[in-house]
Chains A and B, each alone.
Chain A
Amino acid sequence: MIQFSKFTLDNGLRVIVHPDPSTPIVTINVLYNVGARDEDTERTGFAHLFEHLMFGGSANIPAYDTPLQQVGGENNAFTNNDITNYYLSLPKDNIETGFWLESDRMKALDFSQTSLDIQKSVVIEEFKQRYLNQPYGDVWLLLRPLAYKKHPYQWATIGKDIDHIKNATLEDVKSFFYSHYAPNNAILSLTGDIDPGQIKKYVKKWFGDIEKREIKQRIIPEEPPQTLPQSKTVYRDVSSNAIYKVFHMCGRLDKDYYATDLISDILSNGLSSRLYQNLIKENPLFSEINAYISGSIDPGLFIITGKVSEGVSMEQADKAILRELKKMQNEPPMEKELEKVKNKVESSLIFSDISGLNKAMNLAYYELLGNADMLNSTIEQYRKVTKEDIQEVSSKIFKEENMSTLYYLTQQSEQN
């Protein structure tokens, strides 16, 4: 059980406090309800570029990192398709520095052309490092548009075109800030050896005078049901053939979410999972194989990725995956197998609540989904899933017309 208290400021900022006297470190997490799905088709990669700019200085603080390091703190941030999340940790005596830093950049960022230019080139290097200069690095740049035709999940957080980053202007960036960064579009969570009463005073002092802002209305086109299987083949300078299959699945708040997650666990969580045992061990068709879900807020993807063993044809590999998926549709799992994956989920959830940072992030994220209390009830949701649910949801997802496949092949196989 993670105990916490909540309150909301007049300007709409939601705050969650979880006291944990066992650690000398306080974590402050600020989640902004903006991600790559909020971007314009012609200006992709903005939410993430913006995350970089948030470190470039605010109205009263020329550089974000310096004062934080000065008091023994550390920070980072990430952007995904749904949210942008900032976090810092620091010794509890110096907590006020954290409030000062986070509130100043929520109140007013210092927009400068120099900072924008530098961060544009840093992001371009990040794009190269993560997506272009890595074997299999561009997989998601190919898969997303294969599976999504209308929904903005069709582009990765880095953006669909590096030119969108190159062409970003100071005006674009400013308007992005004022239409998405605001107390009424953020959730602040804190963990550590802290006193909720004292925290409330600090929050009021530092965040209370930030004005409520008008948030750009979220109009996201719904992805229409896929009616035909999609596939794409690319040849790259890699040493192994790989296969990627994705299926549309429900969103994070759908009742089928937990069953879907357990399906991915039956297939691929742990060395005893089906794909590992059947397709790597008993019949070694793959050198690596995984199944997982994207877990996004809007309807997401069920993903299967595999590196095909040498000498195995793509057709063999493809069929073997489909056979395993067919099995999920045709027969329910054994009671004991289902219990096994539920135990594993329980354990994972408990282990993910050990560090202050994880607890702070999880609390803020569940609050965004509807209620931070979900953190404590998630395991019950998983426990409720029946073996019939597993079979039923598998049948819904693993339909041929719902499938998109990417064949990522070596250049030698192109010549053959």
Chain B
Amino acid sequence: MTLTDRSKTPAFKTIEEIKFPDTEKFNLKNGTPVWMHKSGTQKIVRLEFIFKAGRWYETKKLMASFTNTMLNEGTKNHTSKELALMFDYYGSFVSFYAEADRAGVVLFSLAKYLEASLILVKDILENSTFPEKELEILINNRKQEFLISQSKFSYLSGKRFMQAIFNNGHPYGKKTDISDFDKTNRDGLTGHYRNCYLNKELNILASGFWDFDLAALLNQHFGEKTYESVPEVSSHPETKEKTEKEIIIVKKPDALQSSVRIGKAAINRKHPDYAGLKVLSTLLGGYFGSRLMKNIREDKGYTYGISSYLVSNEHAGYFVIGSEVGSDVCQKAVDEIYHEINLLKENPVGKKELSLVKNYLLGSWLRMFDGPLATAETLRVLVDYGYDKTYWEKSIDVIQNITPVQLSELANRYLNENSFTEVVAGKC
């Protein structure tokens, strides 16, 4: 046996092409769009029902989230307990979410129990009754949860940051007070239900592995009725770029660690620079080997973790750097964050580092299609924005071809310190 040469990196291939999984898009008889992806080895189905029912569409605070949770609290046919018993009996999991723009229901079911579970989901979407008693319990429990979150520094800094970067009253940056829970009532929720769910347009996303005609089943249960469209909301305030840096301190004198958020409202997926800015954000703080992690965790030991994200909502995006840092080194950590941002603006990134980030990103694209559950989450972007696979192709093209000069340009265009908001919860 020859001795294994450990001194050199084994030969490797750059990912040249991402093979997108097969997806089928079609409409039910009534025009409801369905995205379908079949793969995997286990007979399971993930079925998501997506509505225009997120915070963007609510007329009062907390409405989107309470309405969504209350869907499962009783229908004309079943009590909350009966629903729970049946879903559990089939071993099905149902999750409920209300996001900035969309809200929905996700059913995870063994293929053999899909139809039985699907009928229950149809019931909660069409016949929810919003019982007062269940609502009262939910309000009390959410209130208590809210009070607990008030002592989490990362929660405080995150919320305060969103309020500051989006103008007051903007649905992406609403401030919740304890009194908002008391103002939540049944009429408000049933109103939101009628406006956004009941016989309203929806998108369906199906993934997994099954051995029956799922399209026919969906047509039978969701393809008959006429669904109305949800009126667009245009009354929300515009988000303006800041011209002077805003610093907000949420004082917590006993904090062992301080929670830091630095960033701004930013372009979203619809902007041609989005894919490039995402590469820049990855380089700065989007993976374990990022500049922020290397400097602030691996070189200085100021934190357990630091990262940056670029997030896209339908009407605006945002860019944020977040970390929990030792309070004794908080100012030093903040200074290092700005130092790293400046380096991105002043010096074009080296070839080696750029090739590493590109390969890392292409690898994460492969991971986005690792099995039917991951693939479904990846498909959400196409569903929400009405894109097709050419959107993915374009994003990958940007990753493969972006140059150091383009990245510096993006840094200079979008990472201007004066446009930033800096929030520290703790002591700095």
Interface residues of A (CB under 8 A from B): 20, 22-25, 59-60, 63, 65-67, 69-75, 89-91, 93-94, 96-97, 99-100, 103-104, 107, 117-126, 128-130, 132-135, 205-206, 208-209, 237-240, 269-273, 276-277, 280-281, 284, 287-288, 307, 309-310, 336, 339-341, 343-348, 350-351, 353-356
Contacts and interface: CB of A to CB of B under 8 A. Distances in A.
Given A69-B288, A205-B4, A74 B141 contact: no
B148 A73 contact: no
Given A340-B89, A347-B93, A66 B289 contact: yes
A26 to B, nearest CB: 10
B243 interface: no
B141 A346 contact: no
Interface of B: 1, 3-4, 6-7, 9-13, 15, 19, 39-44, 72, 80-81, 83-85, 87-93, 108-110, 134, 137, 140-141, 144-145, 147-148, 150-153, 254-257, 287-289, 297-304, 324-326, 355-357, 359-360, 362-364, 366-367, 369-374
A280 B141 contact: yes
Contact of B13 (A93, A118, A356): A93
A97 B19 contact: no
Given A69-B356, A209-B4, A354 B40 contact: yes
B141 A287 contact: yes
B286 to A, nearest CB: 11
A293 B108 CA distance: 24
A60 B7 CA distance: 5
11 contacts: A22-B40, A93-B12, A93-B13, A96-B11, A128-B324, A133-B153, A270-B88, A272-B87, A287-B145, A347-B109, A354-B42
Contact of A239 (B85, B150, B303, B355): B150
A128 B326 contact: yes
B350 to A, nearest CB: 13
Contacts of B44: 350-351, 354
A317 B240 CA distance: 50
Contacts of A354: 40, 42, 44, 371-373
Contact of B366 (A20, A91, A269): A91
A134 B149 CA distance: 10
B326 A355 contact: no
B10 A96 contact: yes
Interface of A is mostly: helix
Contacts, number: 230
A125 B257 contact: yes
A340 B85 CA distance: 8
B56 to A, nearest CB: 28
B359 A72 contact: yes
Nearest to A56: B298
A278 to B, nearest CB: 11
Contacts of A75: 288
Contact of A91 (B85, B93, B288, B363): B363
Contacts of A133: 153, 255-257, 324
B121 to A, nearest CB: 14
A59 B6 contact: yes
Q: In the complex, which of the residues B39, B93, B298 has the most CB atoms of chain A within 10 Å of its own CB atom? A: B298
A126 B304 contact: yes
Contacts of A288: 141, 144-145
Given A70-B12, A72-B360, A284-B137, A340 B301 contact: no
A309 B150 CA distance: 17
Contacts of B9: 67, 70, 97, 100
A206 B72 CA distance: 53
B7 to A, nearest CB: 5
Given A22-B371, A100-B6, A287-B145, A122 B356 contact: no
B92 to A, nearest CB: 7
A309 B255 contact: no
A19 B373 CA distance: 19
Given A118-B301, A133-B153, A340-B85, A74 B363 contact: yes
Given A71-B12, A346-B91, A206 B4 contact: yes
Contact of B87 (A67, A97, A270, A346): A270
Contact of A73 (B134, B144, B363): B363
Contacts of B108: 347, 351
Given A206-B4, A271-B87, A344-B91, A353 B42 contact: yes
B376 to A, nearest CB: 11
B301 A125 contact: yes
A345 B302 CA distance: 42
B204 to A, nearest CB: 20
Which of A107, A133, A350 has the most C-beta atoms of chain B within 10 angstroms of its own C-beta?
Answer: A133
Contact of A343 (B72, B89, B152, B299): B89
A24 to B, nearest CB: 5
Contacts of B300: 118
Contacts of B148: 135, 238-240, 307
B384 to A, nearest CB: 23
Contact of A90 (B289, B301, B363): B363
Contact of A277 (B81, B147, B256, B355): B81
B184 to A, nearest CB: 16
B84 A270 contact: yes
A281 B363 CA distance: 46
Contacts of B84: 270-272, 276-277
A22 B372 CA distance: 9
Nearest to B145: A287
Interface centre among A103, A120, A125 (most CB of B within 10 A): A125
A415 B10 CA distance: 65
B364 A22 contact: no
Given A107-B6, A129-B324, 20 more contacts: A22-B371, A23-B371, A25-B370, A69-B289, A69-B357, A69-B360, A71-B12, A71-B359, A75-B288, A117-B301, A129-B304, A132-B256, A271-B88, A287-B140, A339-B89, A340-B88, A347-B110, A350-B42, A354-B372, A355-B373
Contacts of B355: 70
A408 to B, nearest CB: 12
Enumerate the 3 nearest inter-chain pairs by beta-carbon distance, A residue then B residue, closest first. A72-B363, A347-B91, A121-B301
Nearest to A1: B41
B87 A72 contact: no
A306 to B, nearest CB: 12
Contacts of A205: 4
A204 to B, nearest CB: 8
Contacts of B325: 125
B140 A94 contact: no
B137 A129 contact: no
Contacts of B374: 355
Nearest to B9: A67
Nearest to B13: A93
Contacts of A129: 257, 304, 324
B383 to A, nearest CB: 21
Contacts of A74: 287-288, 360, 363-364, 367
A272 B355 CA distance: 51
